[in-house]
Amino acid sequence: MTIDDVARPATVQEAVASLKRRPDAILWAGGTLLMSDPSCIPADRLVSIVDIGRLPELAGIHRTERYVEVGAAVTLASLLALPKPALLGPLAMAAAAVGTASVRNLATLGGTIACRNRFMSCFAALSCMDAAVELRDPRGVRWHGIHKLVGPGNRPAFPEASMLTRVRLPHLSWDAVVVRALGDPPYPHPDASTFAACARIEQGVLADLRVAVSGRILVRDRSLEMTLAGRRLPLSRREIGSFSSDMAASALALSIPPDISSRLEAYVSAFLDHPEEYAL
């Protein structure tokens, strides 16, 4: 690969202007993925880099009553260093499982979302949280639900020439949360996948349930989740079996390998069987 230019904008506006000049430029925040997987950088053309890792506008964390808003260049270590990381529920758990502490000092939240060829492990957590993302391009600023980044065939569809600037995480208190690697091959194995699930329980009733898998594709079935919402705990064997096998069937239909799908079935089943064991 040949790098012909490294732009170092001082503001987000300057970064967007750089992107307007070079829509194919690589936005570089933490760069842990780009440095560890050379295939992420095109080898057949000149590459321009826009260094956005030190933009103050992308480094803030703001909390309101309804949500936490995190700049795209906030490192995973900074997220975990928040006074109450448990408020971030599944995201805190997913972030803590990324690499080592020294890698998390470099890796950014934006980097876990903006990967072009796969959904990284935090994406499953963000999907469960129904996070929203702020995207900027030369045409303006737009907020989208995170599922806007999921394209046909449930594959990644991060828009070209766009810059992720902020991530909005709704404040929801979860009673049970789990994030696990699915299967043995860790990233960068192409089949590496992450399972995330969270549940809210009110007076012995499953008030809200969310289950997602991220990897080469994203698996999330909101209508299936709704079938268990409002059910009294503990769930029956039949309810658990039906839900987990339907979830595994969805994953299989979306080309997740059979061994990973069957492991997903077991994980979902274990979570639904004893959600109290996954209390935060």
Question: Which residues contact another protein by CB under 8 A?
Answer: 1, 3, 6, 8, 28, 31-32, 35-36, 41, 49, 51, 53, 77-78, 80-81, 99-103, 105-106
Residue-wise over 200-214: b if at least 16 C-beta within 10 A, else e?
Answer: bbeeeebebbbbbbb
* Nearest distance, CB of residue 95 and another protein, angstroms: 12
* Nearest distance, CB of residue 62 and another protein, angstroms: 19
Query: Which CB atom, from 98 or from 199, has the smaller least distance to another protein?
Result: 98
Query: Which CB atom, from 43 or from 173, has the smaller least distance to another protein?
Result: 43
Query: Which CB atom, from 52 or from 131, has the smaller least distance to another protein?
Result: 52
Closest CA to 118 of 144, 148, 157, 145: 157
Query: Which CB atom, from 2 or from 173, has the smaller least distance to another protein?
Result: 2
* Nearest distance, CB of residue 100 and another protein, angstroms: 4
* Nearest distance, CB of residue 227 and another protein, angstroms: 39
- Strand segments (E) across the chain: 2-7, 26-28, 46-51, 61-63, 67-71, 132-137, 140-145, 163-170, 176-182, 193-202, 205-214, 218-220
Query: Which CB atom, from 81 or from 226, has the smaller least distance to another protein?
Result: 81
Query: Which CB atom, from 102 or from 203, has the smaller least distance to another protein?
Result: 102
Please give the Cα distance from 40 to 47 (Å, whole number): 11
Query: Which CB atom, from 3 or from 226, has the smaller least distance to another protein?
Result: 3
**CB-CB contact of 124 with 94 (8 Å):** yes
- What's the Cα-to-Cα distance from 78 to each of 41, 71, 223, rounded to whole Å? 27, 11, 35
* Nearest distance, CB of residue 99 and another protein, angstroms: 6
* Nearest distance, CB of residue 185 and another protein, angstroms: 14
* Nearest distance, CB of residue 85 and another protein, angstroms: 11
Tokens of 112: 């876990």
Cis peptide bond prior to 23, omega within 30° of 0: no
The conformation of residue 190, written as its DSSP 8-state character, comes to T
DSSP string computed for 218-267: EEE-HHHHHTTTTPBSSPPHHHHHHHHHHHHHHHHHTT--HHHHHHHHHH
